[in-house]
Amino acid sequence: MTCLRFDLRKKMIPYIEGRLAGPGTARLERHLLSCDFCRALLVRLRTGHQMAQRLAWLSLAIDEVPQFDSGIAGLVATGATGRAWPSTWPDRLEALATPRVVTVLAAVVLLQLGLLVVSNRAVLLGEHSRTSVSTGSINLAEFRQLTIPELRSNTQPHVATEGYVEDVHTDEEEGTVAFRLVERPQSGSSFVVCEIMSPIQMAPPPEGSRVRVYGVERYDAQQDRKWYEVNPVLNIVALKP
């Protein structure tokens, strides 16, 4: 199943390069412990990053940069030496083994690598977070209906639970909206923390309202938390009080 944590996915490149701050690193690593999709993506990104690091940087003067539209054709026609193109494969390979040909081919490889990264940037770096995700196609019948206390013994990822909304707050930096869903509107009642995150565009429910929340259950094991979450929230249905 594709992971919807685009907010964490776009932090993978800084993480690989050692530029991700301590709290961000801890949050990403906690997510990787339970997400096969993101672990596999991180492995692919790290492999590509290591390959890119091994590529030698080309230092070409401006007047030495070859023209790709005519330079390669000319090299093929003359073997980069001004002589006629050899007729046998060994001679052709020898003709291609010149500094100029190697420079052109290396430049072509780097250009293609750059185009590949640019064309897949949205997937690799999570730039889908700039657009909204429609949740209208979700089959709500596939979500396991549980009370808030029953979440502790649940083993299925997709759940639906209901309660009263408390403590709605927005994290502008992360682009998330979180609220507590309590079993009863009174102190000491069982609760679950619900989080709406980008790119899912969904208005948070008003405080005090009674709703049913559909989403992915997880457990936040941080020392100062240790609570169950519906994160991300995929759908909210208003209920009568």
Strands 191-197 and 144-145, by their bridges, are: unpaired
The domain spans of the chain are 6-54, 62-119, 140-239
Does the CA dihedral 152-216-33-1 come out positive or negative?
positive
Task: Give CB contacts under 8 A, 24+ apart, made by 130-133.
Answer: 130/199, 131/199, 132/199, 132/200, 132/201, 133/4, 133/199, 133/200, 133/201
- pLDDT tens readout for residues 154-207: 988 899 999 999 999 988 777 789 999 999 887 678 999 999 987 677 889 999
Q: What pLDDT sits at residue 162?
A: 96
Alpha carbon distance 83, 201 (integer Å):
64
Burial class, 191, CB count within 10 angstroms (exposed 0-12 / middle 13-18 / buried 19+): buried
The CATH topology of domain 140-239 is: OB fold (Dihydrolipoamide Acetyltransferase, E2P) (2.40.50)
**pLDDT bucket at 58, cuts 50 / 70 / 90:** very low
Mean pLDDT, the chain, rounded, equals 75
Within 8 A by CB and 6+ apart from 69, the residues are none
CB 216 within 8 A of CB 225: no
Per-range mean pLDDT, top range of 1-5, 102-106, 160-164, 200-204: 160-164
- The amino acid at residue 63 is D
Q: How confident is the model at residue 88 (pLDDT cuts 50, 70, 90)?
A: low
For the chain, the C-alpha Rg in angstroms (whole number) is 27
β-partners of residue 162 are 212
Q: What is the pLDDT of residue 141?
A: 87
DSSP 200: B
Q: Per residue in 114-162, pLDDT tens?
A: 656 544 544 444 443 333 444 555 788 889 999 999 999 998 889 999 9
Residue type, 199: P
Residue 95: per-residue pLDDT: 63
Q: Say yes or no to pLDDT of 94 above 70.
A: no
Comparing C-alpha atoms, which of 2, 8, 4, 18 is closest to residue 174?
Answer: 8
Whole-number pLDDT of residue 53: 66
Of the listed ranges 19-33, 75-89, 102-116, the least confidently predicted one is: 75-89
Say yes or no to pLDDT of 62 above 50: no
Phi, psi of 117 (to 5 degrees): -65, -45
Bridge partners (DSSP) listed for residue 193 = 180, 229
Q: What pLDDT, on a 0 to 100 scale, did the predictor assign at position 15?
A: 84
